[in-house]
Amino acid sequence: MGYCQDDKLVNTICDLYEKISKLESLRPCEDVDTLFKQLVSTCIPPNPNIDVTKMCESIQEMRSNLIKLCGHAEGHLEHHFSSILTSFEDNPLHHLNVFPYYNNYLKLSKLEFDLLEQNLNGSVPKTVAFIGSGPLPLTSIVLASFHLKDSIFHNFDVDPSANSVAARLVSSDPDLSQRMFFHTVDVMDVTESLKDFDVVFLAALVGMDKQEKIKVIEHLEKHMSPGALLMLRSAHGPRAFLYPIVEPCDLQGFQVLSVYHPTDEVINSVVISRKLDGDVGNHDHMDQASELACNCSQIHAIMNKKKSIVEEFTGSIEEQLS
C-alpha cells in the first residue's frame, strides 16, 4: 500500500478499522469487545518506526475516523458499566473493579498526580476541573479518593445523560457527593468560571481532530487564570491511532512543563503545562523545546523509579476492592 513506515502494523490496523466500521452498533457485545481488544493490543507496543503525522493522506483519514469510532465505543462502554455500578445497593464506588480498565485508570491517575505534585511546588489545588468527564468519571473519582482528598472537583460534559449517570454514581458516597459537581455544558460556552480552577484536566477525546483540539486549548488559554495548570492527554507512536496527539507547539500561551509517554498498558501520554501571564507573552518555542527536552528526560527517569511504587499502589487498591 506504499507506506514508508511499518507496513505490517498499519495493514493490521487498517483491517481492524474495516471490520469495526462495518459493525451495526458499537455498544458492548462479544464482537465489539473482541475487535477493540485486538486494536488496543496491536497499538500498545511502543514502535519507534511509527509516526502517524508523516503517513499518507488516506491513512490520516482512516486514523481520524478510527479515533471517532473509538470515542463512540468508549462512551458506550462507560455508560454500560456506570449503569451496572449504580445498580449496586450499597456504595457503587466500592465496586469500581468491575470495570475492565479500572487498573489502567489507577495507574494513569497516579502518574498524573505525581506530575502535578512535581509542578505545584508543595501547594494542593483547591479546585479542579475535568472537561469531558463522561458517564464514568474515573479520573476524578480516583484523584479525589486517593490523591487530592480535600480538593473540589467540577466535571464538565456536553451530554446530559452522561452527567446524570455519573452524578448517581457518586451520590451515595458521603465524601465525594460533597466534593464532586457535574455541569452539562459545552466547554466553549464556559468562560469566567474557568478562572476559578487551579488545575484543568482535558480529556483525550474532547476535540477528536487537531482543529477541534486546538480550538478548545485556545479557549482555555483565553479564560484560565495565569499560573493555573493544564493537564492534557495525548498519544505517541501507534497509540495515536486510538487518541489525538497534542504537541507542545499546540499550547500557545502555556509553558509546557513536561511530556510523559508510558510504555506499559496505560495508553495515554500526559502533557502538563502552566498558563502564562498575559504580560509575559509566549516563550520562544526553540528555547522552550530545549527546556522541555530536559524536563522530559528528568520526568522519564523519575517515573521509571516510581513505577514499582505505582504497581504497589494499584495492587493495594485492588486488594481493598476485592
CA distances from 293 to 18, 183, 187 (A): 38, 37, 31
Pick from 43-57, 153-167, 171-185, 278-292: least confident: 278-292
User: Over the stretch 225-250, which tens digit does the pLDDT of each residue have?
Assistant: 999 999 999 999 999 999 999 999 99
CATH class, range 1-278: alpha beta
Model pLDDT, residue 5? 58
Model pLDDT, residue 209? 87
> pLDDT grade, residue 265 (50/70/90)?
confident
Side-chain half-sphere exposure of 260, counting CA atoms within 13 A = 27
Cβ(242)–Cβ(208) below 8 Å: no
Cα–Cα distance measured from residue 215 to residue 247, given in angstroms and rounded to the nearest whole number: 14
User: Over the stretch 189-216, which tens digit does the pLDDT of each residue have?
Assistant: 999 999 999 999 999 999 888 899 999 9
Q: Report the DSSP pairing between strands 180-184 and 152-157.
A: parallel
Cα–Cα distance measured from residue 315 to residue 317, given in angstroms and rounded to the nearest whole number: 5
Give the burial string for 95-118 (b: 16+ CB within 10 Å, else e): bbeebebbbbbbbbbbbbbbbbee
Pick from 39-53, 55-69, 81-95, 278-292: least confident: 278-292
